[in-house]
Amino acid sequence: MRYLLIVFLVSSCSWVPTKETITVEKIVYPELPPVPHVAPLELIPCIPDRPRVWWEPKVVKNTTECKAIPSENCMEYRIDVNSNIVVGYDKDNQNCVALNREKIRYQLKKYQDRLDEINEQRRQWIVRNEQTRK
């Protein structure tokens, strides 16, 4: 009799109607954190120069101050217009140009590193999304 009662109870559980399960899929995009700005690039002003005719006497510079009151500081050699060199630098300004190139190279490296970091984060998100779909 006990067995009959147990069989009846177990079989009655199977008669309970099952609920329907509905799965809703929704595409979810991650909330992207704000990308921090890279500090602005500050270059040193460099003064290019043209080849000069150093074997001739100096002339007055073509500036307003020098034309008003010519002095020894306002004298320079004239530009050699027949030279095939367009622009040149003295030693100080050549160092200035080298520093600016190094700053630009460093800034581009920072941008590239930041882009690589962002792409790596997004690659990890894609992998994580693939794993959750399975």
31 located within any domain: no
Instruction: Convert the pLDDT of each residue in 107-134 to its tens digit.
Output: 999 888 888 888 888 888 878 777 776 6
Same domain, 57 and 81: yes
Q: Which amino acid is at 41?
A: L
104 located within any domain: yes
Same domain, 118 and 98: yes
pLDDT for residue 9: 58
42 located within any domain: no
Domain count, the chain: 2
| Whether residue 24 has pLDDT greater than 90 | no
pLDDT, average across residues 5-17: 58
Report the predicted TM-score, pTM, of the whole model to 2 decimal places: 0.48
Same domain, 109 and 79: no
Same domain, 96 and 130: yes
Residue 115's domain comprises 90-134
64 located within any domain: yes
